[in-house]
Amino acid sequence: MNPNRHLMTLDEFTFFQTKQFKNSTGELSTLLRDIGLACKLINKQVNKAGLTEILGAHGAVNVQGEEQMKLDVFANEVMISVLRNSADCAGIASEENDDIVVFEDDHSLNSKYVVMFDPLDGSSNIDVNASIGTIFCIYKRISELGKPCNIDDFLQKGRNIMASGYVIYGSSTMLVYASRLGVNGFTLEQSIGEFCLSHKDMRCPVDGKIYSINQGNTCKLNDKLKSYLDFCMADDKATRRPYSHRYIGSMVADLHRTLIKGGIFMYPEDRSNPKGKLRLLYECNPMSHIIEMAGGKGTSGTENILDMKPSELHQRVPIFIGSKNMVEQAVAMIYQ
Ligand code: P6P
Quick: pLDDT tens for 84-123: 999 899 999 999 999 999 999 999 999 999 999 999 999 8
Got the DSSP string for 274-289? TT-SSBIIIIIHHHHH
| Domains of the chain (ranges, CATH numbers) | 10-199 (3.30.540.10), 210-335 (3.40.190.80)
The minimum-distance atom of ligand 1 relative to the CA of 252 is 7
The one-letter amino acid code at 147 reads: K
Q: Give yes or no for a contact between 333 and 224, defined as CB atoms under 8 angstroms apart.
A: yes
For 41-78, give one letter per residue: b (16+ CB within 10 A) or e: bbbebbeebeeeebeeebeeebeeeeebbbbbbbbbeb
Q: How many alpha carbons lie under 13 Å from residue 78 in its C-beta half-sphere?
A: 23
- For 144, residues 6+ apart whose C-beta sits below 8 A from its C-beta are none
d(CA 188, CA 43) in angstroms, rounded, equals 10
* Strand 297-299 to 319-322 pairing: antiparallel
Q: Give start and end residues of each alpha helix (H) in 115-236.
A: 223-233
Quick: pLDDT tens for 315-334: 999 999 999 999 999 999 99
217 lines ligand 1 (CB under 6 A): no
Atom 4 of ligand 1 has which residue's CA nearest to it?
Answer: 122
Q: If you measure from the C-alpha of residue 137 to the centroid of ligand 1, how many angstroms do you get, rounded to a whole number?
A: 19
Q: How many alpha carbons lie under 13 Å from residue 135 in its C-beta half-sphere?
A: 28
Quick: pLDDT tens for 241-261: 999 999 999 999 999 999 999
pLDDT, position 17:
83
